[in-house]
Chains A and B, each alone.
Chain A
Amino acid sequence: MNVALVFDRLFLLPFLNGLALAVLLALLGCYIRLREEWLAALGLAQAAAAGVVLGGMFLEPVLLVALVAALLAAATKALVGRTGNDAYAVMILFGWSVALLAAANSVHGDDLSRALVQGQLYFTGVPHLEGLGVLLLLAVAILPWISRRLLLGRFFPDTFRANGLGTPHHDLVFDLLVAVTLAFAATAIGVFAAFALVFVPPWIAFRFAPGWKKTLVGSVAVAVACYMVAFAAAIALDQPFGPVLVAVLLVASLARLLRRHH
């Protein structure tokens, strides 16, 4: 075990990238859970992963191809509409199949697909930091506007249509924000770690928080705390980051047992 490595300047940039992702995914995860679309998050992350491996095949910048793949998946989701989990399950299986087939038929595919399973946070750099910085600013700017509309769309779903607003823009904006964030996340921390940050912190916060604002704060707090523990543990114990983060989040989720659901 090498605890001193945790504080090495070498890991500062990856630490900040992961921190930004923890905040963004936990925040967006609350709205994804409210929309009952958490399976879509896994579908989008898997699509981004397929894009990464395909990008590796054709020597494109992998982050760019991951973004394009996630946006295509988001567009497909918008086209099929709210058809429930069936469409998202197909998206997951399609992404997984494409990713592994592409990996089997390319020089670097195996390395890339392993990185997407285990997470390669320690190799992320300035491009991720710049992209995530823009995403954080965007989220801070639009969430106050979009939050009320997303909630209104769930509790009073016909109100937009009844007022002549056929396809509300906020749905599209939110889907794009989620798709782009998941593309960054899949390339930085791996598919399942990204999915775990979308799913687990809101799952815990929904059980305990007394209101919506505290749900958002609680979800981010859980994600950041688990991320910091996982970041330090993975370096100190020389373990792959993605599985360590998922394990820490799962341990944290045991907190749900502390309070019975009413």
Chain B
Amino acid sequence: MSDALLEVRDLVAGYREPVVGPLSFSVRAGEIVGLTGPNGAGKSTILRAIIGSVRVFSGSIVRRPGTRVMVQPQRPFRLPEMPITGHELLHLTHAKDRDAPAALQPLLDPRVDRLSGGQFQLLQVWAALGSPCDLVYLDEPTNNMDPGTVEVLGDLLLAWREERGVLVVTHEHEFLDRVATTIVEVGA
């Protein structure tokens, strides 16, 4: 095997029937790999196959032994009343709040149910990105974000990309053009 943290080869995945593939790509430390394509192309299905929650019909998914993974979900969990602070959220993933970028500092003290959708999404991405893992999967991380917050997210990814490999699923081409080292078109 190569030095890749994640190696996907000729992957065909789906549910009862195959819905996406074959697709091949790899993610190494320091790389930001973007999976993109139109709605319904199967981007999130590829990610779910890598996580192990949908059926793999053929091909292989190999994660380097010992690789620690964090997954930021497409639909963040937040109850209408959610008495957890930003600091506590970061502690869950062992992300260090002292390392959190300046844009995130005002988000750490309030309860997360007092944040906007975009702010909470940004905090979740940082909780994943700032954790001591080797590989981060981000599923539609720009959801709920205004252009300014997307800009901050891009800065975060670029500033921390040397630390780990990142696989980003998104339909936002402009965002990927800015941050990704490799772009993989799904359903092309």
Closest partner residue, chain A, to B47 (CB atom): A158
Note all chain A residues with C-beta closer than 8 A to B50. 162
Give CA–CA (A187, B79) in the complex, Å: 32
Q: Is there a chain A Cβ closer than 8 Å to B73's Cβ?
A: yes
A158 near B83 with CB under 8 A, answer no
Note all chain A residues with C-beta closer than 8 A to B71. 156, 158-159, 162
Give CA–CA (A262, B72) in the complex, Å: 25
Q: Is there a chain A Cβ closer than 8 Å to B93's Cβ?
A: yes
* Residues of A9-53 contacting chain B, CB below 8 A: 34, 36
Q: Given A155-B77, A155-B92, is A211 in contact with B52 using a C-beta cutoff of 8 Å? A: no
Q: Is there a chain A Cβ closer than 8 Å to B114's Cβ?
A: yes
Q: Is there a chain B Cβ closer than 8 Å to A215's Cβ?
A: yes
Give CA–CA (A164, B72) in the complex, Å: 16
Query: What's the dominant secondary structure at chain A's contact region?
Result: helix
Q: Is there a chain B Cβ closer than 8 Å to A94's Cβ?
A: no
A212 near B83 with CB under 8 A, answer yes
Say how far B129's CB is from chain A's closest CB, in angstroms. Answer: 12
A155 near B124 with CB under 8 A, answer yes
Q: Is there a chain B Cβ closer than 8 Å to A205's Cβ?
A: yes
Give CA–CA (A262, B113) in the complex, Å: 8
Pick out which of these stretches binds chain B: A125-133, A146-154, A228-236: A146-154
A210 near B111 with CB under 8 A, answer yes
Note all chain B residues with C-beta closer than 8 A to A262. 113-114
A151 near B84 with CB under 8 A, answer yes
Say how far A92's CB is from chain B's closest CB, in angstroms. Answer: 22
Q: Which of B77, B113, B114 contacts A154 (CB 8 A)?
A: B77
Contact with B along A208-221 (1 / 0, CB 8 A): 01111111000000
* Residues of B51-104 contacting chain A, CB below 8 A: 51-53, 68-73, 76-77, 79-85, 87-89, 91-93
B81 near A162 with CB under 8 A, answer no
Q: Is there a chain A Cβ closer than 8 Å to B137's Cβ?
A: yes
Note all chain B residues with C-beta closer than 8 A to A162. 50-52, 69-71, 137
B73 near A158 with CB under 8 A, answer yes
Interface size on B, residues (CB 8 A): 32
Q: Is there a chain B Cβ closer than 8 Å to A88's Cβ?
A: no
Interface size on A, residues (CB 8 A): 28
Q: Is there a chain A Cβ closer than 8 Å to B128's Cβ?
A: yes
Q: Is there a chain B Cβ closer than 8 Å to A207's Cβ?
A: yes
* Residues of A187-245 contacting chain B, CB below 8 A: 205-207, 209-215
Closest partner residue, chain B, to A160 (CB atom): B71
A151 near B83 with CB under 8 A, answer no
Note all chain B residues with C-beta closer than 8 A to A169. none
Give CA–CA (A261, B111) in the complex, Å: 12
Note all chain B residues with C-beta closer than 8 A to A261. 80-81
Note all chain B residues with C-beta closer than 8 A to A168. none
Give CA–CA (A207, B79) in the complex, Å: 11
Q: Is there a chain B Cβ closer than 8 Å to A84's Cβ?
A: no
A159 near B70 with CB under 8 A, answer yes
Say how far A95's CB is from chain B's closest CB, in angstroms. Answer: 27
Contact with A along B138-162 (1 / 0, CB 8 A): 0000000000000000000000000
B83 near A205 with CB under 8 A, answer yes
Contact with A along B25-40 (1 / 0, CB 8 A): 0000000000000000
For the complex of A and B, the 9 pairs showing the least CB-CB separation, nearest first, are A158-B71, A206-B81, A162-B69, A209-B83, A215-B83, A211-B85, A162-B51, A212-B84, A162-B71
Q: Can you name 26 A-B residue pairings with CB atoms under 8 Å?
A: A151-B84, A154-B77, A155-B76, A155-B77, A155-B92, A156-B93, A156-B127, A156-B128, A157-B73, A158-B71, A158-B73, A159-B69, A162-B51, A162-B69, A166-B52, A205-B83, A206-B82, A206-B83, A210-B83, A210-B85, A211-B84, A211-B88, A212-B83, A212-B88, A215-B83, A262-B114
Residues of A at the B interface (CB closer than 8 Å) are 34, 36, 148, 151-152, 154-159, 161-164, 166, 205-207, 209-215, 261-262
Residues of B at the A interface (CB closer than 8 Å) are 50-53, 68-73, 76-77, 79-85, 87-89, 91-93, 111, 113-114, 124, 127-128, 137
